[in-house]
Amino acid sequence: MSETRTDTYQRITDTIIRQLEAGTRPWMQPWNASRLGGSLPKPLRANGESYRGINILLLWIASATHGFRHDRFMTYRQAQELGGQVRKGETGTAIVKYGTITRSTDTNQSDEAGETGENERQIPYLKTYAVFNLSQIDGLPEALYAETVPLPAEQRIERADRFVANTGARIQHGGSRACYIPALDLIRMPPFATFENAEAYHSTVLHELSHWSGSSQRLDRLKSTDRRHQAYQFEELVAEITACFLSADLGITATVRPESASYLASWLAVMKEDSRAIFRAASKAQAAADYLHSLQDQKAAA
């Protein structure tokens, strides 16, 4: 019997909960790996495109757990089509696919033309499938196994600087706390010199840019500015994941904000109550990252 959609949500949520209860943020785990020159990049599909949303978290967890050194994951069939073979005894990583199927429902009523009408209903579905890391596959073209050489630190920081500038967000430096102020549509950042290094600074800016993207004039995601409110705490989860997605894109090391530790209990409570919460958070984080990337494209086209 195939796994039901409810079971899939619960199983994946339970995986995330176990990581959090063990003191590990799954979206931060890859940055513990011993790679030179920044964080691990996003996991890639067989065709080189990046996975998205919750699947990024699941594949990052798999990479950290099993020590995978390659970024690319593919199905058993895709490996065979490329001339490779998954090694005997290897276990795939379960990820999910969203989609909709169209069902026609006979209304048994006449439409305006006097004919029997049918309503088309879009029914969402969620299914799991297994993918394997290149570390588990033999015989693929050698070019696929080549490890990506990260850009020098100076170039990565320059790229991050451009990314932030291209958003057009107003950023004011001063004080001791990083925050986004919706009423002023302003990001406040402590002075650059107060950060441990440039990557810590940019990781924090990316977190605040995520909040900025959620304003009413952009993605309209922000629901509360009260730190005690569950909606505010959930937004912090979205922003933390978004910053990790963007850090991976830019090749910089994401850092954990000290104050985020206070939100862990609330995140766990939400996930234990609602098995779809982490899916929504990952989806909103992906949307925020996509929006901020779109501003880069607009700047380039200007």
* Whether 280 and 198 share a structural domain: yes
pLDDT in tens, 239-293: 999 999 999 999 888 887 777 778 888 999 999 999 999 999 999 999 999 999 9
Final residue of a structural domain among 149, 168, 184:
149
The token pair that represents 196 in the structure block? 């441990």
Residue 37 pLDDT class (50, 70, 90 cuts) = very low
Question: Per-residue pLDDT for 302 more than 70?
Answer: no
Asked if pLDDT for residue 113 goes beyond 80, the answer is no
Asked if 262 and 155 sit in the same domain, the reply is: yes
pLDDT tens digits for range 69-81: 899 999 999 999 9
Q: Who contacts 250 (Cβ-Cβ below 8 Å, separation ≥6)?
A: 156, 159, 160, 163, 202, 206
Let me know whether 140 and 255 are in one domain.
Answer: no
Based on the fold, state whether residues 103 and 210 are members of the same structural domain.
no
Same domain, 166 and 106: no
Least-confidence region, from 178-182, 232-236, 295-299: 295-299
The total domain count for the chain is: 2
Domain boundary residue among 98, 117, 149? 149
CB 276 within 8 A of CB 10: no
Read off the pLDDT of each residue in 33-43 and give the average, rounded to a whole number.
57
End of a domain among 100, 122, 149?
149
* Cα distance between residue 112 and residue 166, in whole Å: 51
Indicate if 106 and 161 belong to the same structural domain.
no
pTM of the model: 0.87
Nearest C-alpha neighbor of 69 from the set 33, 29, 42, 44: 33
Residues 7, 129, single domain; the answer is yes
- Tally Cβ neighbours within 10 Å of residue 244: 30
Alpha-carbon distance of 282 to 218, in angstroms, equals 18
Contact 277, 13 (CB under 8 A): yes
DSSP 232-288: HHHHHHHHHHHHHHHHHHHT------GGGGGGHHHHHHHHHH-TTHHHHHHHHHHHH
Q: What is the pLDDT of residue 1?
A: 39
Q: Do 212 and 248 lie in a common domain?
A: yes
Calculate what percentage of the chain has a pLDDT beyond 70. Answer: 88
Whether residues 241 and 139 fall in one domain:
no
Q: Pairing between strand 186-189 and 179-181? A: antiparallel
Question: Half-sphere exposure (CA, 13 Å, Cβ side) for 24?
Answer: 16
Amino acid at 14: D
137 and 154: one domain? no
300, 154: one domain = yes
Q: Which residue range is the domain that position 157 belongs to?
A: 150-302
Question: Do 100 and 214 lie in a common domain?
Answer: no
